[in-house]
Amino acid sequence: MTLRHLKIFVAVCDCGGITAASRKLFISQPSVSAAVREIENEYQVKLFDRISRKLFLTESGRLLLEQARYLINQYDSIESGLRDSELNGVLRVGSSITIGNRFLPAYVAAFNRGHKAMRVRATIHSSETIETMVLENKLDLALIEAVPQHKSLVSSVFMEDELIVICAKGHPLASDGEITLDQIAKSDLLLREKGSGTRELFDSTMALHNVFIEPIWESVSTQAIVRAVKAGLGLSVLPYWLVQEELNAQTVAILRLPGIEFKRDYYIVRHADKFLSNPMRDFIEICRNVETADRNITLDD
């Protein structure tokens, strides 16, 4: 069994079939089928059950898939390290939307000042998607808002954040400055999409108090949500960092929820098997130490 066999097997699993895998790999269907068959014959195992012309992984197939992904990632890491020297390479950094909007530009600028021959290739997406990209070795490092769940990821805290409930300045609750759980449950809520760290924290906190929310608006765009709040369409729960300008301009108001805090940490994440190069170490230190404007959260009483 060779690396080629493993890559073909993983492609069949990812694509859901021989035909799609052959298209992805630009090789013939018989070649794909032969590679899978060679593995099965060599180890006397069955990797797929073929039911109603569809492929389903067997227990042996699931075991091989996990190990194959690991070995391919190791190979890709070695290949990437050889091709991209520290003097003329690329650092692939991902971040969640909140961190990408508010802090990543300052981190990349600081890194560029000390690594003039290197480039940072940035990807900004939901925490869930970014975590998956680290697992698939599509990113070297990631900055996310949620505790990584996969056992193959290692993480460390680099910053604290807090979510706040906001409403339009003219909203009936704005004058009170507070909101109850019952009022939240009955309000029109405009929330980030499922899979984002912001949504995960809000939903889990509400579930602890037996409050389950069905928002009227879900979006990957924080700015779209903020504009909708300012238009009086409902309430939202967003990171303090991303609504600072609106708070300073007094176009939105904070609604306090007595006895409940939406505090969380931001995490630097990498694959446990990823070689920690000097540029990676430097970027991690920048995230921990670079001063950015208003880094400490201060909410007025």
Report domain extents, the chain: 3-83, 90-159+265-289, 161-263
Domain at 161-263: CATH code = 3.40.190.10
How far is the C-alpha of 112 from the C-alpha of 106, rounded, in Å?
A: 10
Q: Would 90-159+265-289 and 161-263 be classified into the same CATH topology?
A: yes
The label of the residue with tokens 């971040």 reads: 95
Determine which of 80-84, 170-174, 184-188, 224-228 has the lowest per-residue pLDDT on average.
80-84
Determine which of 81-85, 103-107, 216-220, 223-227 has the lowest per-residue pLDDT on average.
81-85
For the segment 122-178, what is each residue's pLDDT rounded down to a tens digit? Answer: 999 988 899 999 999 999 999 998 788 888 999 999 988 889 999 999 898 998 889
For the segment 242-267, what is each residue's pLDDT rounded down to a tens digit? Answer: 888 899 999 999 999 998 888 888 99
Q: Residues 239, 139: contact at Cβ < 8 Å? A: no
What average pLDDT does this structure show over 86-102? 84
The label of the residue with tokens 């939901």 reads: 126
pTM score: 0.59
Determine which of 25-39, 185-199, 245-259, 287-301 has the lowest per-residue pLDDT on average.
287-301
C-alpha distance from residue 168 to each of 30, 244, 301 (Å): 62, 14, 19
% of the chain surpassing 90 pLDDT: 60
SS3 243: helix
Class of domain 90-159+265-289: alpha beta
Find the helix or strand (DSSP H, E) in which 119 lies: strand 119-124
Question: Which pLDDT belongs to residue 293?
Answer: 44
More confident call, 43 vs 196? 43
C-alpha distance from residue 220 to each of 22, 97, 228, 268 (Å): 34, 8, 13, 21
pLDDT at 95 over 50: yes
For the segment 273-298, what is each residue's pLDDT rounded down to a tens digit? Answer: 888 888 999 999 999 987 654 444 44
What average pLDDT does this structure show over 19-31? 92
Question: Which pLDDT belongs to residue 81?
Answer: 67
Question: Which pLDDT belongs to residue 291?
Answer: 61
Question: Which pLDDT belongs to residue 251?
Answer: 92
Domain at 3-83: CATH code = 1.10.10.10
User: Length of the chain in residues, anyone?
Assistant: 301
